[in-house]
């Protein structure tokens, strides 16, 4: 008797939870269908409101979708490739008009693209591109060139180094993360090709965190000897802010050092203005989110799209740091 | 009564409801069934696509359920294996590093077996609590995956094999689903029909009795951890084939989801209680819930709140937990009584 | 009722020769030889601690004898429990060794599932299990998990497991402790049937009537020695009890304490709980009340339910101190009102073995050893040292872990920690079990001192001399009820044993 | 059941008559298990000071402190849960991040006092939910705190939108993060103060005493008249409050807060506790041990980074270290029997 009472109790509890959440979810469905969506589109993202970039990317994306009469369903695989593959299968099964894909791990998306093609669902890619070999399965790409950003940051570094022997430290993103890998590769390969006079003395992951970056930078300074270090490259502005703090904490003036990064965020832009950060690459999350939908709607309308719509990898230095077109967004 | 003595030793199982209760009480899966019914009803109302696209749902269930099945073998013996997610990553990397696909699969599965044996060694021979031993492995294997792969995804050499692996075999059934069903059947048969597997319950339920009855407890523990390692490696192989690349960070969401599936399925962490069917039901409910919420466009954050709440309710509605809490309430009420009654 | 002793004796199946077993310094079994013939039921009686269980564990290969050997059908037994099992010796343990979530059939066949290529032949398994159940004549749903069966049924499953192995020798250690009279009768009849088929049975019991009802021969063990072995026809219940308890009476020579009990301090009314079937009991200030009875009679269960340690289904307990009566509903309320409980299982329930003696003593006294919930280490050390001295802890090093001490000293620590609270009611469950003679005497002194200082003392003991020696009043518990009450003067070992065993035979005599 | 199946009078203390090689080995293992962490930490520091360039510099010591502080504050708090015999509190991940985000996010809008007040409330809520489920419902701590981690992180991201929060560059929080006394950053001082306070609570208060007793023998503690569920609840509340302070420290150090900043804290804190020699079975252990465990892991990681060893190898080293630490403990325990 007691068992049954307990079971009903538990059941009703779960039921209440389920109903309330389902109603909230159906609520969001209604609100999006209020925009009288003509097109159903799935956006398979590896991040959402769990990451700062996604937090500013999403509103721009949703706003643009509403403007274009696109009904968006957004998933977040938290950078788990298996989870994204599963999201992809869900999306293909839902038979949307188009899928927007932000690959969690670039090497792993081919089966997803193949499945979409088999189901006649066009796929556009956003934020980080698929492998060259998989391009024929996609209808277009918009976003930053993560490799190119690393390369551009390296170009700034090369210019600053002016051919002098320069020793730098490198702070990478989260180990194994595809953006982290691409930016690092772009930076390292460009340095090797264009200015071999720049030597990377040490590298450690800063995990996209300011505090982790500050600690490892400080440790790397100790490791190689602070006096031997002429510059720092960090894979994003948050981490470069940590690296600059580490320099200051050791009583080293960051001004004469060659420091570059990627982002031009609200954290990085003031550092550029103050001259601590010599150069960064502007990445507009809102551009990224907005153009993901723009490319998608062009494809849906049957217009021809460029194969790659690269976010301008604007190099931001002290001269143009105040320009409105590079106003930091996050 | 076959004997002259009339011995009414049995429980009073007269009347339909009493017998029904007895039959229900025998099962350990009722919480999973309730949840499954609720989830199915909810999905029918709010996201019927879950069922029209059943192959997707099945695929998702297979994704979170496969590791949970292997884990159940270990939990039935009252032990834990936290290293499964890292095992998945390492075996995937091992597989992708080998150019020959068959050799790669073999090596990857072997890796899983070896990891299971190492876990069992620490637990059985050294005598470390399995929670801690596998925690160490969780770190070490993740590190190993990074070291082997140079912290980058390792693309499969034979991409075509991978692509064809991900394609449906019969109707909408992909090899992943087939393998999942096979593992389910194999493990279910193993713990219900095979002597060694059935004895897992004895090892988890009353280890001393198992020793006394002459059951080779150490060998059973080795078997259990190796099953868990093998199944995790199989999941790694499937993922790598389907994704045509091995990701050293893989499995980040697998560990917790697997635990949740087993716990919701009524598998007791203290050992000796639960079933493979229960884990399947747990995986089914979580899978349908996950796909349903995704199809309904619910953000991951809210999905997590959901899954966490379900897990929380599942763990505190365990009969033993409810008894303990009821006992506390009774004690509290009575302690008030004993103070007032002077 | 007696089996005829003139039955043709079969060949000797199992024999133990000159078995000696020591634990540390103590000799548990001292040069004991027994032999059991085919088709014979061999009774083994003795008080608690006489060495019966140790001897049985040696026969079953679980323990290795220090001297002597066990032979089965003339062949010496080597190689532990497994070898003994293969040689045909099956032991039904006192402790249930069942797997709760496995079915009856599986438990009966545990460790010897019939298999083909590793697969269980479940029809065969059920068949063998059903046969075993049939053999012992009970009806059990073999598909039910054990956890859903009653305690009595579990005991029968345990016996069925032994029977299913088709043993030559079946050893039962107190199998009736948890059974009702009807169930006991059934079990005894079943054993006789098995013996008639040629099985040798070694039957250990405290209950004299059972011995007389089924055994062919009976051996008496006392303090590890084999006192006598006789045909059942050669003895009487009286004689047997005499032989069991007949010890040198040195311990008994201690004079009874002068007691002049005051008002009732501890009063239990209508206590019902699993295994307890309505017990009323009063303990007065300065009085020592003893609870006697057989193992499983419900003494421990009563004490735990009355104090609120385990839940009770009905009944009230009142503690009266300084003219103020308080109904005790929970264990913590009991402790608050001056009750001290010294549990049966010292190592698991009584002490934190890997904490120091000082910490163990401080635990129930933490309130008085702290100011504003900050502990005062100096005060604790002083307090613990004093108490350790007063209970005679040796060596008196309060910083050592409790687990490093011997059983007797551990028990002194348990008593010391409660002494600090100056309890008004103190309940001791088997206070000197596993304790050496010296410590035992000291513990008895402590218990008497407590009573002399006006505490109400309730002692549960299976050690008859101890019970009689300490108690002003003895209640004998049988089947969850008070079977009889004896005043200190009229209680002797025989009267207590008689009430506890409760057999018709003895009552008739 | 009365008849002693176990030896009647087993003196657990072994006669020190013979000291054979096996006994000496047992004694050595025992000694290592008891004092190992002190020796290993000392050896590691001496080794590093001699062989690793730059290790002994003031700057580097500060870095070690920075590494140690937030994880150490979580670990000294979580020691209470571990000693009480409940394995660990996985939800510290969610707790630290929530506290950090509240600390920066709410103080930007409403000022620091309100932020701190809110953080305290949230911490108490975490402690209460975990503690009631584990203490009163006797539910398994791993599963309970796994569930609260899911819910907690989900709520945090849902409510905060996952943004990165930073305080004004010249604000009080940043100033806090930069205070230092000699080579000691404020975070390290907080850790030391926390360790002292919690060591006092664990060793010198009746509550701490009961936590140790519950972990050592729950039933004996209950029979001494202690409400064991309440003690477990208290242990989870202390852990939650420590995690809250760790969140403050983490936020103040970088003047930023984001919901991902504490990922991996749960297992890293547990690893430090275990390496320190606190038993996961409860009862045995101390705050000082946890502190040493934290120092050991931080110094080791620092050495590996100084030697430019990659992240993968760092993980392998920590995993191997856990295995080694608990193996010694397990072998010593076995040898003692």
Res. B188 pLDDT band, cuts 50 70 90: very high
Cβ pair C226, C16 in contact under 8 A: no
Residue D265 lies in a domain: yes
Do residues A162 and A265 both lie within one domain? yes
Cα-Cα-Cα-Cα dihedral sign, residues C158, C163, C164, C166: positive
Cβ pair C244, C222 in contact under 8 A: yes
Cβ pair B279, B261 in contact under 8 A: yes
Strand partners, C426: C340, C457
**CB contact set of C306 (below 8 Å; sequence gap of 6+):** C268, C271, C279, C281, C312, C315, C317
Of C28, C352, C408, the CB nearest to D220: C352
Asked whether the beta carbons of residue D143 and residue B318 sit closer than 8 angstroms, the reply is no
Chain D: residues touching A (Cβ < 8 Å): 53-55, 57, 59-60, 62-63, 66-67, 70, 153, 157-158, 160-164, 166, 169, 250, 253-256, 258-261, 302, 305-308, 311-312
Boundary residue ending a domain (C185, C213, C245) = C245
Residue D103 lies in a domain: yes
The yes-or-no verdict on residue B202 having pLDDT over 70 is yes
Q: Tell me if chain D has a CB within 8 Å of the CB of C28.
A: yes
Residue D19 lies in a domain: no
Do residues C201 and C172 both lie within one domain? yes
Q: How far is it, in rounded angstroms, from Cα A304 to Cα A140?
A: 9
**What would the pLDDT profile of B145-184 be if each residue is shown by its tens digit?**
999 988 888 888 877 777 777 666 676 777 888 899 999 9
Q: How remote is the C-alpha of B276 from its chain's centroid?
A: 8
Residue A20 lies in a domain: no
Q: How far is it, in rounded angstroms, from Cα D300 to Cα D268?
A: 13
Per the structure, how many domains does chain B have?
Answer: 1
| Interval C79-102 mean pLDDT | 82
Domain housing B199: 38-316
CATH value at residue A126: 3.40.50.2300
Do residues A210 and A272 both lie within one domain? yes
The yes-or-no verdict on residue D187 having pLDDT over 50 is yes
Res. D337 pLDDT band, cuts 50 70 90: low
Averaged confidence pLDDT in chain C: 84
Confidence at residue D21, expressed as pLDDT on a 0 to 100 scale: 63
Q: How far is it, in rounded angstroms, from Cα D64 to Cα A162?
A: 36
Of A49, A203, A226, the CB nearest to D162: A49
Which of B119, B246, B333, D235 lies closest to A81, judged by CA?
A: B246
**What would the pLDDT profile of C118-171 be if each residue is shown by its tens digit?**
888 888 888 999 888 888 888 888 888 888 887 778 888 888 888 888 889 999
**What would the pLDDT profile of C419-472 be if each residue is shown by its tens digit?**
988 899 999 998 987 777 778 888 999 999 999 988 999 999 887 888 888 899
Task: Outline where DSSP puts E strands in B86-238.
Answer: 154-155
Do residues C350 and C493 both lie within one domain? yes
Residue B341 lies in a domain: no
Confidence at residue C258, expressed as pLDDT on a 0 to 100 scale: 66
Residue B138 in tokens: 């969780």
**What would the pLDDT profile of A172-228 be if each residue is shown by its tens digit?**
988 877 788 889 999 999 999 988 899 999 999 988 888 889 889 998 988 888 888
Per the structure, how many domains does chain A have?
Answer: 2
- Four-CA torsion D322, D328, D333, D335, nearest 10 degrees: 160
Domain housing C500: 263-508
Per the structure, how many domains does chain D have?
Answer: 1
Residue whose tokens read 């001393």: B208
- Four-CA torsion C480, C481, C486, C492, nearest 10 degrees: -30
**What would the pLDDT profile of B209-255 be if each residue is shown by its tens digit?**
888 788 899 999 999 999 999 999 999 999 888 888 888 888 777 77
**CB contact set of D175 (below 8 Å; sequence gap of 6+):** none
Omega before C381 within 30 of 0, i.e. cis? no
Q: How far is it, in rounded angstroms, from Cα C170 to Cα C194?
A: 10
Do residues C82 and C160 both lie within one domain? yes
**What would the pLDDT profile of D199-216 be if each residue is shown by its tens digit?**
999 999 999 999 999 999
Boundary residue ending a domain (A241, A264, A282) = A282
Residue C444 lies in a domain: yes
Boundary residue ending a domain (C200, C218, C245) = C245
**What would the pLDDT profile of A215-239 be if each residue is shown by its tens digit?**
899 989 888 888 889 999 999 898 9
Helix (H, G, I), strand (E, B) or coil at A163: coil
Q: Tell me if chain D has a CB within 8 Å of the CB of A62.
A: no
| Interval C45-73 mean pLDDT | 84
Residue B7 lies in a domain: no
The yes-or-no verdict on residue B13 having pLDDT over 70 is no
Chains B and A touch (3+ CB pairs under 8 A): yes
Averaged confidence pLDDT in chain A: 82
Taking the CB of residue A244, how many other CB atoms lie within 10 A of it? 25
Residue A24 lies in a domain: no
| Interval B249-272 mean pLDDT | 83
C200-204 and B245-246 beta bridge pairing: unpaired
Q: Which of residues 428-447 of C touch B (CB under 8 A)?
A: none
CATH value at residue C276: 3.40.50.300
A-chain residues within 8 Å CB-CB of D311? 175, 204-205
Do residues C214 and C267 both lie within one domain? no
Residue B90 lies in a domain: yes
Asked whether the beta carbons of residue C119 and residue B215 sit closer than 8 angstroms, the reply is no
Q: How far is it, in rounded angstroms, from Cα A49 to Cα D258?
A: 11
Residue A127 in tokens: 């934020």
Cβ pair B40, B288 in contact under 8 A: yes
Query: Touching A: which chains, 3+ CB pairs < 8 A?
Result: B, D
Q: Which of the residue ranges A158-167, B45-54, C447-456 would you say has the lowest mean pLDDT? A: B45-54
Q: How far is it, in rounded angstroms, from Cα A228 to Cα D247?
A: 35
The yes-or-no verdict on residue A19 having pLDDT over 60 is no
Domain housing D158: 38-336
CATH value at residue B129: 1.10.3470
Residue A268 lies in a domain: yes
Residue C145 lies in a domain: yes
Residue C19 lies in a domain: yes
Residue A254 in tokens: 């960051």
Measured between CA atoms, the residue of chain D closest to residue B330 is: D136
The yes-or-no verdict on residue C179 having pLDDT over 80 is no
Q: How far is it, in rounded angstroms, from Cα B197 to Cα B187?
A: 8
The yes-or-no verdict on residue A13 having pLDDT over 70 is no
Measured between CA atoms, the residue of chain C closest to residue B10 is: C140
Res. A31 pLDDT band, cuts 50 70 90: very low
Measured between CA atoms, the residue of chain D closest to residue A223 is: D306
Do residues C145 and C273 both lie within one domain? no
Measured between CA atoms, the residue of chain A closest to residue B160 is: A111
Taking the CB of residue A324, how many other CB atoms lie within 10 A of it? 5
Residue B137 lies in a domain: yes
Residue A110 lies in a domain: yes
Per the structure, how many domains does chain C have?
Answer: 2
Do residues A169 and A76 both lie within one domain? no
Chains A and C touch (3+ CB pairs under 8 A): no
Residue C256 lies in a domain: no
Confidence at residue B3, expressed as pLDDT on a 0 to 100 scale: 40
C-chain residues within 8 Å CB-CB of B323? none
Do residues A168 and A268 both lie within one domain? yes
Confidence at residue C505, expressed as pLDDT on a 0 to 100 scale: 32
Cβ contacts from A onto D, under 8 A: 98
- The H or E element containing residue A45 is strand A39-45
Asked whether the beta carbons of residue A49 and residue D59 sit closer than 8 angstroms, the reply is no
Asked whether the beta carbons of residue D250 and residue A202 sit closer than 8 angstroms, the reply is no
| Interval B281-309 mean pLDDT | 85
Residue D28 lies in a domain: no
Taking the CB of residue C27, how many other CB atoms lie within 10 A of it? 17
Alpha-carbon distance D208 to nearest alpha carbon in chain C (angstroms): 10
Res. D281 pLDDT band, cuts 50 70 90: confident
CATH value at residue D233: 1.10.3470
Do residues A208 and A134 both lie within one domain? no
Residue C98 lies in a domain: yes
Residue A29 lies in a domain: no
Of D62, D70, D162, the CB nearest to A51: D162
Measured between CA atoms, the residue of chain D closest to residue B256 is: D146
Q: How far is it, in rounded angstroms, from Cα C79 to Cα C81?
A: 7
Domain housing A125: 36-144+285-311
| DSSP sequence for C80-106 | HHHHHHHTTEEEE-SS----TTSBHHH
Which of D93, D51, D43, D45 lies closest to D71, judged by CA?
A: D93
Q: How far is it, in rounded angstroms, from Cα A225 to Cα D306?
A: 10
CA angle C227/C230/C235 to nearest 5° reads 100
Res. C415 pLDDT band, cuts 50 70 90: very high
Which of C508, C490, C491, C476 lies closest to C206, judged by CA?
A: C476
| DSSP sequence for C29-46 | EEEEEEEEETT-EEEEE-
């Amino acid at each position: 008797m007691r068992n049954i009472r307990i079971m009903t109790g538990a059941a009703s509890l779960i039921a209440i939870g389920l109903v309330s959440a389902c109603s909230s979810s159906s609520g969001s469905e209604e609100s999006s269908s209020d925009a009288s969506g003509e097109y159903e589109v799935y956006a398979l993202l590896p991040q959402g409101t769990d990451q700062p970039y996604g937090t500013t990317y999403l509103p721009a994306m949703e706003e643009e979708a509403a403007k274009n009469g696109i009904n968006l369903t957004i998933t977040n695989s938290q950078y788990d490739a298996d989870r994204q593959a599963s999201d992809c299968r869900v999306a293909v099964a839902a038979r949307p008009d188009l899928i927007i894909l932000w690959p969690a791990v670039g090497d792993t998306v081919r089966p997803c693209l193949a499945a979409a093609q088999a189901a006649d669902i066009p796929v556009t890619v956003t934020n980080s591109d698929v492998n060259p070999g998989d391009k024929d399965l996609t209808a277009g790409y918009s976003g930053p060139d993560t490799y190119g950003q690393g390369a551009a940051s390296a170009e700034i570094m090369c210019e600053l180094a002016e051919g002098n022997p320069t020793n730098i430290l490198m702070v990478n993103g989260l180990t194994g993360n595809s953006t982290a890998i691409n930016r690092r590769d772009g930076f390292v390969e460009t340095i090797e090709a264009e200015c071999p006079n720049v030597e990377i003395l040490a590298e450690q992951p800063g995990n996209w965190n300011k505090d982790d970056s500050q600690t490892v930078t400080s440790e790397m300074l100790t490791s190689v000897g602070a006096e031997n270090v002429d510059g720092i490259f960090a894979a994003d502005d948050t981490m470069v802010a940590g690296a600059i703090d580490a320099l200051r904490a050791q009583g080293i003036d960051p001004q004469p050092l060659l420091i570059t990064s990627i982002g031009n965020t609200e954290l990085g832009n003031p550092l550029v203005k103050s001259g601590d950060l010599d150069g960064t690459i502007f990445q507009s999350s809102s551009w990224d989110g907005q153009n993901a939908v723009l490319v998608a709607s062009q494809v849906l309308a049957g217009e021809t799209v460029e194969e790659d719509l690269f976010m301008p990898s604007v190099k931001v230095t002290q001269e143009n740091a105040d320009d409105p077109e590079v106003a930091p967004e996050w | 009564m076959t004997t002259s003595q009339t011995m009414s030793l049995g429980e009073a199982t007269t009347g339909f409801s009493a017998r029904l209760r007895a039959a229900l009480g025998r099962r350990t899966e009722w919480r999973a069934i309730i949840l499954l019914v609720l989830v199915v009803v909810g999905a029918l109302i709010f996201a019927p696509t879950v069922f029209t696209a059943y192959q997707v749902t099945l695929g998702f269930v297979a994704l979170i359920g496969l590791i949970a099945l292997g884990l159940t073998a270990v939990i039935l013996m009252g032990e834990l294996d936290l290293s499964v997610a890292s095992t998945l990553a390492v075996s995937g990397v091992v597989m992708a590093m080998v150019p020959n696909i068959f050799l790669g699969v073999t090596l990857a599965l072997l890796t899983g077996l070896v990891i299971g044996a190492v876990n069992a060694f620490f637990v059985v021979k050294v005598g470390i609590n399995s929670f801690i031993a596998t925690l160490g492995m969780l770190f070490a294997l993740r590190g190993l995956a990074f070291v082997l792969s140079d912290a980058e995804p390792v693309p499969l050499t034979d991409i075509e094999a991978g692509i064809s692996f991900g394609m449906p075999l019969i109707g909408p059934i992909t090899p992943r689903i087939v393998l999942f069903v096979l593992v389910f059947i194999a493990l279910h048969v193993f713990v219900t029909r095979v002597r060694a597997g059935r004895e897992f319950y004895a090892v988890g339920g009353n280890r001393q009795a198992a020793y006394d009855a002459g059951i080779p407890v150490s060998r059973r523990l080795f078997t259990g951890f190796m099953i868990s390692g093998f199944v995790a490696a199989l999941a790694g192989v499937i993922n790598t084939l389907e994704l045509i690349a091995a990701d050293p960070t893989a499995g980040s969401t697998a560990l917790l989801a697997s635990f949740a599936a087993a716990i919701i399925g009524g598998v007791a962490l203290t050992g000796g209680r639960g079933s493979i069917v229960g884990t399947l039901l747990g995986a089914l409910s979580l899978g349908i819930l996950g796909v349903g919420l995704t199809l309904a466009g619910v953000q991951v954050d809210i999905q997590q709140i959901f899954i966490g709440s379900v897990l929380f309710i599942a763990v505190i509605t365990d009969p033993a937990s409810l008894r303990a809490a009821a006992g506390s309430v009774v004690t509290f009420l009575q302690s008030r009584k004993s103070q007032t009654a002077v | 009722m007696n089996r005829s002793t003139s039955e043709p004796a079969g060949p000797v199946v199992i024999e133990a020769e000159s078995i000696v077993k020591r634990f540390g310094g103590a000799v548990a079994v001292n040069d004991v030889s027994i032999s059991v013939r085919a088709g014979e039921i061999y009774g083994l009686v003795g008080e608690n601690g006489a060495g019966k269980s140790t001897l049985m564990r040696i026969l079953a290969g679980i323990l290795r004898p220090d001297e002597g050997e066990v032979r089965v059908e003339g062949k010496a037994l080597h190689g532990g429990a497994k070898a003994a099992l293969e040689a045909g010796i099956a032991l039904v343990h006192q402790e249930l060794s069942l797997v709760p979530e496995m079915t009856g059939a599986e438990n009966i066949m545990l460790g010897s599932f019939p298999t083909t290529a590793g697969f269980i032949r479940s029809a065969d398994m059920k068949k063998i299990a059903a046969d075993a159940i049939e053999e012992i004549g009970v009806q059990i749903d073999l598909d039910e998990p054990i956890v859903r069966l009653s305690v009595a049924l579990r005991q029968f499953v345990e016996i069925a497991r032994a029977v299913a192995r088709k043993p030559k020798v079946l050893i039962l250690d107190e199998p009736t402790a948890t059974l009702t009279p009807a169930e006991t009768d059934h079990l005894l009849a079943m054993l006789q049937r098995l013996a008639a088929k040629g099985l040798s049975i070694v039957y250990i019991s405290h209950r004299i009537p059972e011995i007389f009802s089924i055994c062919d021969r009976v051996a008496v063990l006392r303090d590890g020695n084999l006192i006598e072995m006789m045909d059942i026809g050669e003895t009487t219940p009286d004689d047997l009890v005499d032989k069991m308890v007949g010890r040198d009476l040195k311990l008994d020579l201690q004079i009874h304490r002068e007691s002049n009990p005051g008002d009732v301090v501890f009063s239990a009314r209508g206590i019902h709980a699993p295994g307890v079937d309505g017990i009323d009991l009063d303990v007065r200030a300065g009085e020592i009340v003893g609870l006697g009875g057989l193992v499983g009679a419900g003494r421990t269960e009563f004490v735990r339910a009355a104090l609120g340690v385990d839940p009770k289904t009905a009944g009230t307990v009142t503690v009266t101190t300084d003219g103020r009566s308080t109904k005790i509903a929970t264990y913590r309320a009991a402790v608050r009102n001056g009750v001290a409980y010294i549990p049966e299982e010292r190592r698991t329930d009584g002490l934190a073995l890997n904490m120091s003696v000082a910490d163990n003593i401080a635990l129930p006294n933490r309130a008085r050893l702290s100011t504003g919930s900050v502990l005062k280490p100096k005060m604790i050390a002083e307090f613990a040292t004093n108490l350790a001295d007063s209970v005679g802890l040796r060596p008196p090093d309060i910083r050592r872990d409790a687990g490093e001490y011997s059983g007797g000293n551990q028990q002194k620590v348990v008593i010391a920690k409660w002494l600090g609270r100056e309890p008004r009611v103190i309940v001791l469950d088997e206070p000197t079990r596993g304790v050496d003679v010296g410590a035992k005497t000291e513990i008895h002194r402590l218990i008497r001192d407590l009573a002399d200082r006006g505490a109400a003392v309730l002692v549960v003991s299976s050690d008859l001399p101890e019970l009689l020696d300490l108690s002003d009043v003895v209640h004998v518990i049988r089947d969850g009820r008070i079977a009889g009450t004896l005043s200190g003067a009229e209680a002797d070992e025989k009267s207590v044993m008689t009430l506890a065993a409760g057999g018709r035979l003895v009552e008739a005599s | 059941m009365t008849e002693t199946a176990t030896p009647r009078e087993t003196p657990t203390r072994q006669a020190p008559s013979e000291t054979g090689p096996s006994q000496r080995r047992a004694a050595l293992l025992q000694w290592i298990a008891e004092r190992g962490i002190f020796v290993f930490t000392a050896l590691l520091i001496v080794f590093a000071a001699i062989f690793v360039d730059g290790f002994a510099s003031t700057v580097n010591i500060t870095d070690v402190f920075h590494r140690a502080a937030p994880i150490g504050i979580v670990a000294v708090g979580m020691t209470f849960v571990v000693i009480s015999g409940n394995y660990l509190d996985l939800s510290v991940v969610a707790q630290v991040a929530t506290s950090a985000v509240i600390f920066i996010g709410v103080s930007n809008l409403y000022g620091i006092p309100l932020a701190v007040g809110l953080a305290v409330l949230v911490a108490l809520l975490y402690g209460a939910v975990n503690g009631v489920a584990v203490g009163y419902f006797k539910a398994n701590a791993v599963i309970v705190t796994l569930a609260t981690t899911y819910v907690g992180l989900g709520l945090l991201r849902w409510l905060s939108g996952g943004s990165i929060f930073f305080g004004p560059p010249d604000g009080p929080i940043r100033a806090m993060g930069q205070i230092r006394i000699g080579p000691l950053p404020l975070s390290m001082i907080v850790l030391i103060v926390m360790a002292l306070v919690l060591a006092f609570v664990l060793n010198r208060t009746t509550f701490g005493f009961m936590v140790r007793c519950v972990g050592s023998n729950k039933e004996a503690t209950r029979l001494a008249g202690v409400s064991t569920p309440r003690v477990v609840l208290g242990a989870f509340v202390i852990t939650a409050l420590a995690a809250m302070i760790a969140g403050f420290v983490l936020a103040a150090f970088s003047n930023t807060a984001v919901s991902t900043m504490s990922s991996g804290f749960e297992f890293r804190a547990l690893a430090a506790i275990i390496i320190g020699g606190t038993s996961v079975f409860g009862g045995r252990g101390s705050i000082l041990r946890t502190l040493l465990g934290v120092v050991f892991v931080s110094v080791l990681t620092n050495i590996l980074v100084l030697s430019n060893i990659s992240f993968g190898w760092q993980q392998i080293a920590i995993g191997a270290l856990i295995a080694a630490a608990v193996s010694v403990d397990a072998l010593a325990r076995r040898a003692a029997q």
